[in-house]
């Protein structure tokens, strides 16, 4: 440590010596320029005062520079803002000497004063920018080599400019920006940081081939999701590695750099715009409330916990049977919020009704988000009794405890698979919705929120595809015709919270999932995002539909069944009233069937009897023909109409 400090002190002294020489040289050069570079022609009336006051000027300049931290700059990283600060320091030091000197009778020709200031500005600032300048020149020369990355930058806005400056001095990137793409006609044909703006998105394919581009970087963090999706779809056709600056917050925080540029994620290809939340409604809903999240360690549950914590609840309780996940989210929230969040973790199963009662009696939650459930369709087809025990009776235990111990609002996470279910998992979730519908007269407000698949959630298709790609393939899909609706985990959690805030008795909320996504296209995009070519580097194999699987999930957004809410992405589905006596009778019959160890097919038959919309997957899948390219939306709508007629 002492050696480092000694080196720093020696470096500072050396720079101060250089500054003193520059101050002396600037004054002398100004006099020489004024008097035709003839030292003998300089009048003694100007030369003598300058020589006498030179030590004072040097001392004042060095003192001002030290106060202004002119000796603290890292020269290799000098920025435009640093240059402005340096210029103000030079001017301030110049004024700190010359203004009082002039008042005391020190006189020089005005041209000498002006030339002296210019020389000081050029030399004192120039020496501090020299290392960065030479590094940029060295980088430019190196990256003209054929073996470097050839980069196309998309976006000539402020984020693009900042990235270009970063790339110009980044030794860790062996490459150069060959061209910039921007849709603004006013920027096309111009240069940014020595990189030409060659056209809009229509020129991406042409310029990628012409410039032999190997990497594309998207620097359009403020662009709407739909616009990003359109550009990414074009970029994928180039075969180049595609990377992106994640979000506009990078600009706000000044974090636009190569470190912030990440590989494009499949979420970017959904083209979904950020959720606009009514923060005031959520604050009134959650602030100073005791909130319990069942399944709080899972994908949706943990994200709910992250989002809820932002609204300063009185206490947040994470309930989960899997301690590893619960521990992970507990530690994350403690790191983020510390003592500002009263956080409790309870390891328990929702199947244990007595334990659930004790926890509710102890914590007395005001709000419950119920995310605990078995969700894997094929596994629940093999073990329907487990789906019934966990999804139906586990949910019933939480519902009963919520009523018994005064919970104000209960929000259940449901699924699009509950719409005209063709599998046991979807049927159990629909049964739970029916329990909530029977609670219209309860003092607790019960509601459910339906949405489709969540990208990146535990056990979902995207992590599976990524793992298969990492292993060299093949990527397996059940059927090339399959279409699903997707949203991101944060989007789902945020919409669930807002739906819960606006919910009234026994309502079922439906989230707008956007456009359907063909799973085959999703697999191809993931392979391309990994820098590989589908069917060439990684094969895609069709392995057949799994038990209980639909070709298309039902369209949630059937306008004739929905009413709007204040949030354009949240709708309320109209539901028929269900008798509480009927539901209690059905629960008793299911309980007896479980106690008697009924065969799986008998249990499923009982669920079919209780849920009028439950159908065989083969019967439903036979209603649709294989889709043609680009017809996913139309096929999904036709499929839903056929299912409605069947039901």
DSSP 540-599: EEE--PPTT--SBPPPS--GGGEEE-SSTTEEEE------HHHHHHHHHHHHHHHHTT--
Active-site residue flag, 417: yes
Q: Which of 187, 228, 289, 417 is catalytic?
A: 417
8-state DSSP, 390:
I
Those residues with Cβ within 8 angstroms of residue 91's Cβ, 6 or more apart along the chain or in another chain = 117, 121
Those residues with Cβ within 8 angstroms of residue 279's Cβ, 6 or more apart along the chain or in another chain = none
Report the relative pairing of strands 290-294 and 367-370 from DSSP bridges.
Answer: parallel
Check residue 608 and give left, alpha or beta (phi > 0: left; psi -120 to 50: alpha).
alpha
Neighbours of 563 (CB within 10 A): 10
**Tokens in use for 573?**
């589905």
Place of tokens 């996913």: 632
**Residue 469 · residue 531 · CB < 8 Å:** no
Helix or strand holding residue 217 (H, E)? strand 215-218
Those residues with Cβ within 8 angstroms of residue 332's Cβ, 6 or more apart along the chain or in another chain = 306
Distance CA 99, CA 72 (A): 27
DSSP 349-380: -TT-HHHHHHHHHHH--SEEEE------HHHH
Angle between helices 580-595 and 600-610 (to 10 degrees): 180
- 285 closest CA partner among 508, 443, 502, 446: 502
Distance CA 168, CA 175 (A): 9
Provide the CA 613 distance to its chain's centre, in angstroms: 38
8-state DSSP, 72:
S
- 232 closest CA partner among 201, 189, 275: 201
**Residue 428 · residue 391 · CB < 8 Å:** yes
Residues annotated as part of the active site: 417
């Amino acid at each position: 440590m002492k050696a480092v400090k000694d080196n720093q002190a020696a470096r500072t002294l050396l720079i101060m010596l250089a500054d003193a020489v520059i101050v002396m040289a600037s004054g002398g050069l100004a006099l020489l320029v004024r008097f035709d570079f003839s030292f003998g022609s300089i009048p003694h009336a100007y030369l003598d005062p300058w020589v006498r006051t030179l030590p004072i000027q040097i001392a004042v300049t060095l003192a001002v520079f030290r106060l202004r931290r002119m000796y603290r700059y890292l020269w290799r990283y000098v920025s435009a803002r640093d240059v402005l600060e340096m210029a103000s320091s030079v001017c301030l030091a110049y004024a700190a000497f010359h203004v009082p000197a002039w008042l005391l009778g020190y006189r020089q020709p005005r041209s000498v004063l002006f030339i002296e200031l210019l020389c000081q500005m050029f030399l004192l600032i120039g020496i501090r920018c020299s290392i960065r300048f030479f590094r940029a020149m060295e980088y430019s020369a190196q990256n003209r080599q054929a073996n470097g990355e050839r980069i196309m930058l998309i976006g000539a806005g402020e984020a693009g400019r900042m990235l270009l400056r970063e790339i110009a001095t980044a030794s860790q990137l062996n490459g150069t920006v060959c061209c910039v793409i921007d849709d603004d006609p006013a920027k096309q044909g111009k240069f940014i940081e020595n990189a030409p703006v060659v056209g809009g998105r229509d020129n991406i394919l042409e310029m990628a081939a012409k410039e032999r581009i190997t990497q594309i970087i998207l620097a359009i963090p403020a662009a709407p999701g739909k616009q990003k999706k359109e550009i990414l779809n074009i970029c994928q056709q180039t075969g180049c590695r595609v990377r992106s600056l994640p979000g506009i917050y990078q600009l706000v925080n000044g974090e636009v750099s190569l470190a912030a540029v990440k590989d494009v994620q499949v979420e970017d290809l959904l083209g979904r715009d950020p959720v606009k939340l009514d923060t005031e409604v959520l604050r009134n809903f959650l602030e100073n409330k005791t909130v319990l999240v069942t399944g709080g360690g899972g994908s949706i549950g943990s994200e709910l916990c992250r989002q809820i914590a932002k609204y300063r609840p009185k206490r947040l309780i994470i309930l989960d049977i899997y301690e590893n996940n619960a521990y992970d989210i507990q530690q994350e929230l403690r790191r983020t919020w510390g003592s500002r969040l009263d956080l409790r973790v309870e390891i328990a199963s929702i199947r244990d009704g007595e334990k659930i009662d004790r926890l509710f009696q102890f914590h007395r939650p005001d709000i419950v988000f119920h995310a605990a459930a078995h969700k894997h369709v094929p596994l629940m087809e093999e073990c329907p009794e487990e789906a019934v025990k966990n999804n139906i009776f586990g949910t019933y235990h939480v519902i009963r405890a919520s009523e018994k111990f005064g919970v104000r609002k209960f929000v259940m996470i449901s699924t699009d698979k509950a719409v005209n279910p063709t599998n046991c998992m979807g049927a159990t979730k629909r049964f739970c919705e029916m329990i909530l519908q029977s609670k219209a007269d309860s003092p607790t407000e019960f509601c459910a929120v339906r949405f489709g698949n969540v990208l990146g959630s535990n056990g979902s298709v995207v992590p599976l595809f990524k793992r298969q790609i990492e292993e060299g393939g093949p990527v397996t899909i059940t059927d090339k015709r399959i279409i699903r609706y997707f949203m991101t985990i944060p989007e789902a959690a945020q919409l669930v919270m807002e739906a819960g805030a606006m919910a009234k008795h026994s309502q079922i909320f439906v989230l707008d999932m956007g456009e359907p996504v063909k799973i085959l296209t999703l697999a191809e995009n993931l392979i391309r995002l990994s820098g590989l070519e589908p069917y060439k580097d990684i094969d895609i194999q069709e392995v057949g539909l799994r038990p209980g699987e639909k070709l298309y999930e039902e369209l949630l957004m059937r306008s004739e069944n929905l009413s709007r809410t204040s949030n354009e992405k949240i709708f309320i589905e109209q539901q028929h009233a269900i008798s509480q006596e009927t539901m209690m009778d059905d629960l008793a019959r299911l309980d007896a069937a479980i106690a008697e160890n009924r065969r799986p097919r008998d249990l499923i038959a009982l669920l079919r009897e209780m849920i009028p919309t439950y159908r065989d997957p083969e019967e439903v899948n036979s209603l649709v023909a294989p889709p043609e390219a680009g017809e996913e939306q139309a096929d999904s709508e036709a499929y839903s109409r056929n299912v409605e007629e069947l039901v």
